[in-house]
Amino acid sequence: MQTMEQVIRLHCVLADEDRNWLNELVDEWSLLADLAFADLILWVPDADDNVFWAAAQVRPTTGPTSLEDDVVGEEIAYDPEHLVTEAYLSQEISHTSGNKLHAGIPVDVMAIPILHGENVLAVVEMHTNQMGVRAPGALEDAYLEAAQLLAGMVHRHQFPLGGDRRVPWVSPRVGDGMIRVNQAGMISFASPNALSAYRRLGLTSDLYGEDFVAVTRSLLKERAPVERPVAASLAGRGSAEIDLETAVANVRLRVLPLSSEEGPEGLLVMCRDTTELRSRERQLVTKDATIREIHHRVKNNLQTVAALLRLQARRISSPEAKGALSDAMKRVAAIAVVHEILSQAFDSSVKFDDVADRLLRMVGDVAATGGKVRMVREGSFGYVPADVATSLSLILTELCQNAVEHGLREQSGEVLVLPHQQDGELVVEVRNFGEPLPDGFQIGNSTSLGLSIVSTLVADLGGEFRLESDAAATSATVRVPLI
């Protein structure tokens, strides 16, 4: 199935301004579909305007669909009797004189040409399933009245309105609650869901006939934020989203000015009870802060352990014991670096380049016993899952330390760290240009604690570890799956 961008790029000649406006329309047009209980199709004219292409489609959430199949990418060849062609040529909203049958279902069809200056930019075709039409009532009448005004605004290139953009996962939809406010600012209709949302805010009276701004402000301690966006919307300056909060409830409003050819027609206000949503958000923020604090405390404790090991190493005369404590101190410090990064920006993944650069500086400072050692990273680790980062920090520390101590020994030199991600794997090569591996060397037969740690950690991560020498360099290569 083609996307809207693909259809327009392949078949249409549109200015960037017009293409952007159509994208904004499609972002917002679910409102019209829900109010009209109708499926919508956006038809755009071909470079040859005798042909039209279906660029986008949306179904209503308030009623049954009229179109079982997706039509995006389909075309209408020249047909002067087709409603879309009729609307395009006449530049007027066209309507079927009777119900059309679509797959045996009676469907009411309307075509709305979108005027832009003297031209028609596109045509929105509305299909309403008459088989499952809702019984008429105050709610349905209010929906359809607003839909009629909105269709006229689309026709006149007045919708979408600009202002606050809709946020799909939190912005209210028609079914969440709807309020109609007349041009005098009085509430002429409020759906049961809207009334329930206001009841949670503390409303004890009815909404019908009340001054919208006054009744909303009366429920809040902080009143100014309500009046400014609503006043701007009443003046026709775009849509606005407002969060209303009391001690016991949260409600989000989306306020849109409506208009007809005669002028302003008041406001359409959608409201959503977001009390539970905000409660979950606050819980997540609290958990996030708690996890960050835990990482911070773990980092502090590990740094304390490293400092104690350092103090102990200074008081021991045995070179072997001193070296063992020094190695343990560096391993603890490597783990502490990961927890420090996690405490600053907790996420499910870690930008490991920052961790690696700190580890390389640390190893370069303390591992060289003589000469000058340069630790160089070429390439990027990218993002690494947090549960892999700790093991990877130890692996990198051990490999770099071994490269300095056993490869360069007391010589000056360079250790290259070459990371990259490939096909869902992280590949890290640590290369030094010092002493080669002993003849017949095998990792499994090595008595090195560092290599044993690396082999165990890589195996736990389901990865591969290889250590080899050639005439130019010694390379330790680790491959670790990230997915």
3-state DSSP helix/strand/coil % of the chain, to nearest 5: 40, 25, 30
* Phi–psi pair at 40, nearest 5 degrees: -120, 140
The contacts of residue 432 (CB under 8 Å, 6+ apart) are 403, 404, 407, 408, 413, 414, 415, 416, 473, 474
Rounded Cα gap, residues 400 and 356, in angstroms:
11
CA angle 201, 202, 208 (to 5 degrees): 90
Say what the pLDDT of residue 295 is.
Answer: 66
| Average pLDDT score over the chain | 84
Least confident of 36-40, 59-63, 80-84: 80-84
Looking at the chain, the whole-number percentage of residues with pLDDT higher than 70 is 87
Fold (topology level) of 347-483: Heat Shock Protein 90 (3.30.565)
Q: Residue 228: which of 248, 381, 220, 237 has the closest Cα?
A: 237
Q: How confident is the model at residue 453 (pLDDT cuts 50, 70, 90)?
A: confident
**DSSP per-residue codes, 376-418:** EE-S---EEEHHHHHHHHHHHHHHHHHIIIIIITTS-EEEEEE
What pLDDT, on the 0 to 100 scale, is given for residue 93? 95
In whole angstroms, give the CA distance from residue 232 to residue 243: 16
| Distance, first Cα to last Cα, the chain | 28
* Residue 121 predicted with pLDDT over 70: yes
Q: What percent of the chain has pLDDT over 90?
A: 39
Give the mean pLDDT of 329-352.
70
Q: For the chain, how big is the Rg over CA atoms in Å? A: 33
Q: What is the mean pLDDT of residues 349-357?
A: 84
pLDDT number for residue 429: 92
Q: Which is it for strands 349-351 and 383-385: parallel, antiparallel or unpaired?
A: antiparallel
Reading the block at residue 21, the tokens are 């406006």
**How far apart are the C-alpha atoms of 254 and 171, rounded to whole Å?**
7
Domain residue ranges of the chain, discontinuous segments joined by +: 4-135+143-155, 174-273, 277-346, 347-483
Lowest mean pLDDT segment, chosen from 9-13, 235-239, 260-264, 384-388: 235-239
d(CA 400, CA 252): 54
Would the CATH topology of 4-135+143-155 be identical to that of 347-483? no
Looking at per-residue pLDDT, the higher value among 286 and 262 belongs to: 262
Chain mean position to CA 440 = 53
Across the range 457-481, mean pLDDT stands at 88
Residue 146 has pLDDT above 90, yes or no: yes
pLDDT the model gives residue 259 = 94
Assigned superfamily of 174-273: PAS domain (3.30.450.20)
Condensed to tens digits (0 to 9), the pLDDT of residues 199-244 reads: 999 999 999 999 998 888 888 876 555 666 666 665 556 788 888 8
Does the pLDDT value for residue 338 go beyond 90?
Answer: no
pLDDT at 157: 95
Superfamily designation of domain 4-135+143-155: GAF domain (3.30.450.280)
Whether residue 271 is predicted with pLDDT greater than 80 in this model: the reply is yes
